[in-house]
């Protein structure tokens, strides 16, 4: 009778270890999946960064010269601008089209901030 109890105890012991290992693996896999999604999202967001930086630098130089062109070309595509007293709406037409809103300073000569929509 003692051997039967011992076999049940050993089986229960290994079952607990197996469940612990499976749970640990599931947690690690879920964590890796979340990291991969984050990396993929960041790659997608960072792919458009060079074109945004290029357009912002072009518009910044045009503001210093005094007049912003309503359209222009960039290496990755083109852009169009709508100028308002406090902001400039820029639509970038390329592989990843985007809309930038550039907030201007009170005198309208500097870009204070921008946001992506």
Mean pLDDT of 81-97: 87
Range of the domain at 53: 49-116
Per-residue confidence (pLDDT) for residue 47, from 0 to 100: 78
Per-residue confidence (pLDDT) for residue 44, from 0 to 100: 81
Q: Are 40 and 83 in contact (CB under 8 A)?
A: no
Structure tokens at 98: 């985007």
Q: How confident is the model at residue 46 (pLDDT cuts 50, 70, 90)?
A: confident
Question: 5 in a domain, yes or no?
Answer: no
Question: 111 in a domain, yes or no?
Answer: yes
Question: 2 in a domain, yes or no?
Answer: no
Mean pLDDT of 91-109: 86
Question: 34 in a domain, yes or no?
Answer: no
Sign of the four-CA dihedral 103, 104, 106, 110: positive
Per-residue confidence (pLDDT) for residue 34, from 0 to 100: 95
Per-residue confidence (pLDDT) for residue 86, from 0 to 100: 87
Question: 106 in a domain, yes or no?
Answer: yes
Question: 100 in a domain, yes or no?
Answer: yes
Structure tokens at 56: 């912002």
Render pLDDT for 104-116 as a digit per residue (tens, 0 to 9).
Answer: 888 878 888 888 8
Question: 9 in a domain, yes or no?
Answer: no
CB burial of residue 56 (10 Å; 0-12, 13-18, 19+): middle
Per-residue confidence (pLDDT) for residue 4, from 0 to 100: 57
Whether the pLDDT of residue 103 is over 70: the answer is yes
Q: How many domains does the chain have?
A: 1
Question: 99 in a domain, yes or no?
Answer: yes
């Amino acid at each position: 009778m003692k051997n039967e109890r011992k076999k049940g105890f050993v089986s229960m012991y290994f079952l607990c270890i197996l469940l612990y290992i499976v749970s640990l693996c599931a947690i690690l896999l879920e964590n890796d999946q979340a990291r991969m999604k984050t990396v993929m999202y960041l790659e997608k967001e960072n792919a458009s960064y060079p074109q945004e930086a290029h357009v912002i630098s072009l518009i910044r130089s045009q503001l210093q010269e005094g007049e912003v062109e309503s359209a222009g070309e960039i290496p990755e595509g083109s852009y169009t601008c709508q100028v308002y007293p406090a902001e400039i709406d820029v639509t970038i037409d390329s592989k990843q089209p985007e809309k930038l809103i550039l907030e201007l300073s009170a005198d309208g000569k500097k870009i204070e901030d921008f946001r992506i929509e």
